[in-house]
Chains A and B, each alone.
Chain A
């Protein structure tokens, strides 16, 4: 089963994403901020990260940067999920090393579809 790490400071959003992904057959882990996500990423192997941008302690950009700079970690794809629909946020995400950008609230079918594509699960 593919493992996904959902990173978001808002419990509601975490629950929502987790629910959707679990239902689609993913194993889901969660982290409440970038720092916790980084710790988890270093200790576990994930096939995908679904990451919020605006978070306390360590925001989404910084998390991805640190993830990408960690040579020992398998560089699984990162989907950024944020309320900002502006191009600027997307570009910043890609500069940090994210692979995709979805705007909140994410449609369940979109999240499922792209999670499957990014983890290589048949559509």
Chain B
């Protein structure tokens, strides 16, 4: 779609629809206020106005109907009810869908058009007849369907002449002739359809053709399972017969009703052949007598003299056919005879009149084109108003009228009248001057009627031209938003990532300069420059990351509608509170959030929030509350769904998990309540019947979990019975650059993601105690397991202590559990770009990937979650 105007329209429409949606919800929450209704009206009004610029009649009609409805709300003749809200919301949904379709393909699906028309007439009926309008609308829609399809332009020349002749004969004989265009949907083969067979079996088929809907660019990439063929069929059959035959694909066919004059198109070489002038004269004479036999004989004689590929020959063939249908066919024969003389395509019917009208130019300076006259008429009206206008405006208006008249006469080059106008200066003078001009003979630039058609064609061309020109010439000066292809930003992101990593080599070099060449000052200077470059690189990275940041509100916005819809369906009363929707995160993260989030909110609504009666019985407020909360914590975005519903019963969860074989009997007894809650995230935990019994927290929770895992996020749940549930998702703000802690084990460097590290501590050997067969230590009063990286990675080398006999321990937070990992050495932190392990190694989940370090070495980055499970 290279139409910038349409693009602008789409952007703007989406914005408006968003606002309209918000206001509709607000209206329902806060009750109707004049301000909101006015704003609503204005938005829909503008949207309607915009849509009128394009050829989307269904959309304009629906918007117009909605606008009228809103107008009634605005002037108070209708009251804003939940029913009206539904109607408006539905209408706006349809508009949204239409905008999406236009954005995707530049046009509207017939089915959507139909829906829009239906909804428009529903609203109209609602306005005129009140509520029981539904049935009537249905009837009306059926009626519309029964009507023969409107005249659509069709290139009749693709139909061979002999077929067209058969069609014309059929039309003269009063038979129904139809051209049917069939565009099977692309996936039709998967539905077991055989479009070709369907077409071949068209009742009373006269002719057919098939052609490709789109050009095949590359035979290599051609998807042979996609149907891209269109069919045109000519059949002598009623619409109803055709519709029955094509009943399963009604939305994919278009029926055109051809007329005789459209079909008679002589075709052929326009040069050569005998002189026909005499023949035409002679034949015209004979026509008056009307003897078909003589006419035919005379035609045949000439036809034999004429090569069949000539234009004239084609005309003669048509005339021969038409003779059979005299006198009805007289106009067509006359048209063809003229065409033989002029070689211009024949015109039938009113053509004769246009020949008689010759542009008659009388007294050039005294004639005025009709548009100019209209301007004069309108100025007269302006002057009529002037008496009722306040004094301070009068002079200005008079001046503008004078200027308008002056320009209009300049434009139409009426110099004589222009001279006379210049002598007028009072209102009265100008008024009588206008009267005088209006009484002059009107010259309308009268041209033959056909002009209008030509102009229409021109208009289309004109609009197309406009678009092309403006694409080059126009820089939308008002747009403050720059639209950039996502891949470009990704590229920037990758480049800056490389830079961030490469800059680390400076640090490495400076160390080398210091240790190997002992140039301490130089090394220091290098370090200084390094820190400058580092700062700039970091800022740059931050800036580029900002470009990708979008507020989570883009996800949150959907929820008021969703909550309203679901709660209404469930008969529950729910208030939705949204907090921190301005929090920003990477586009991918925000988009990744959307689906799990919908899941969570649905769950809260469906199973968390109790029905009003139950809430009252429990002594809770009748209206339940769901809070969507977003906030930024360090380099993570934390999102919560909180409800004050019935909460999750850990006992039941445990029981269910045990029954499902997800936990052992031992675990069933051992598991703490908080741990039990996390069972809901296990795959296979949830089924429908479980969910209703257990207040359904399990529905798709594993889906949520895996989604969040994929983006390196975490999910946790807290719940108090009958008080409510909070589910917390934590995701990285962005995903391009990871912050890792570098550690050493067995002389090998490893990276561990910073976001899993709680702290680094040093622990004396003797502080490690074996407790129930597990090595543990107590850290500030908390017992944590201690694991050795060397063992976990099976490096075969015993762990090393520092000179003081202490172990370096990384305290990690893994799935909300703490664990200490003993490493040989801490080497500081680094920013890296994590690349997944390639090829066969991709299966090794123990490592989340690799990164190239500043000195060119490869760093393996450990996935701590797997590390613990590896054990």
Contact = CB atoms under 8 A, between A and B. Distances in A.
Contacts of B375: 99-100, 114, 117-118
Interface in B338-367: none
Nearest to B376: A117
B440 to A, nearest CB: 16
B50 interface: yes
A11 B448 CA distance: 39
Contacts of A58: none
Contacts of B407: 77, 117-120
Nearest to B382: A94
Given A54-B42, A75-B396, A19 B408 contact: no
B8 A97 contact: no
A105 to B, nearest CB: 4
A113 B369 CA distance: 11
B412 interface: yes
A118 B385 contact: no
Nearest to A28: B474
B79 interface: no
Interface in B393-444: 393, 395-397, 399-401, 403-404, 406-408, 410-413
Contact of B52 (A11, A14, A65, A104): A104
Contacts of B385: 91, 94-95
A78 interface: yes
Interface string A21-60: 0110000001010000000000000000000001010000
B400 A117 contact: no
Contacts of A114: 371, 375
Give the residue among B403, B410, B463 with the most A Cβ atoms within 10 A. Answer: B403
A15 B273 CA distance: 55
Interface in B441-493: 455, 459, 462-463, 465-467, 469-470, 473-474, 476-479
A120 to B, nearest CB: 3
B7 to A, nearest CB: 10
B735 to A, nearest CB: 34
Contact of B8 (A12, A71, A119): A12
B369 A97 contact: no
Given A12-B12, A76-B403, A20 B466 contact: yes
A54 B46 contact: yes
B8 A121 contact: no
Given A23-B466, A54-B46, A83-B52, A97 B389 contact: yes
Given A77-B407, A104-B52, A119-B407, A113 B371 contact: yes
B140 to A, nearest CB: 24
B400 A97 contact: yes
Nearest to B479: A11
A70 B396 contact: yes
A55 B601 CA distance: 39
B74 interface: no
Interface residues of A, number: 54
Contacts of A74: 399, 403
Nearest to B48: A83
B373 to A, nearest CB: 10
B42 A120 contact: no
B379 interface: yes
B53 interface: yes
Contacts of A94: 378, 381-382, 385
A16 B478 CA distance: 13
A3 interface: no
A101 B389 CA distance: 18
Nearest to B13: A12
A11 B12 contact: yes
B459 A68 contact: no
Nearest to B413: A122
A1 interface: no
Nearest to A68: B396
B162 interface: no
A36 to B, nearest CB: 11
Interface string A74-93: 11111000010000000100
Interface in B671-725: none
Given A12-B5, A118-B407, A18 B474 contact: yes
Given A75-B403, A76-B403, A91-B385, A120 B396 contact: no
29 contacts: A10-B50, A11-B478, A13-B53, A15-B474, A19-B466, A19-B470, A19-B474, A20-B466, A23-B469, A69-B396, A70-B396, A71-B395, A74-B399, A75-B400, A77-B404, A95-B385, A95-B389, A97-B382, A99-B379, A104-B52, A104-B53, A117-B371, A117-B372, A117-B408, A117-B412, A118-B408, A120-B411, A122-B411, A123-B371
Given A71-B396, A77-B404, A99-B404, 7 more contacts: A30-B477, A54-B46, A75-B396, A83-B48, A95-B389, A117-B407, A118-B375
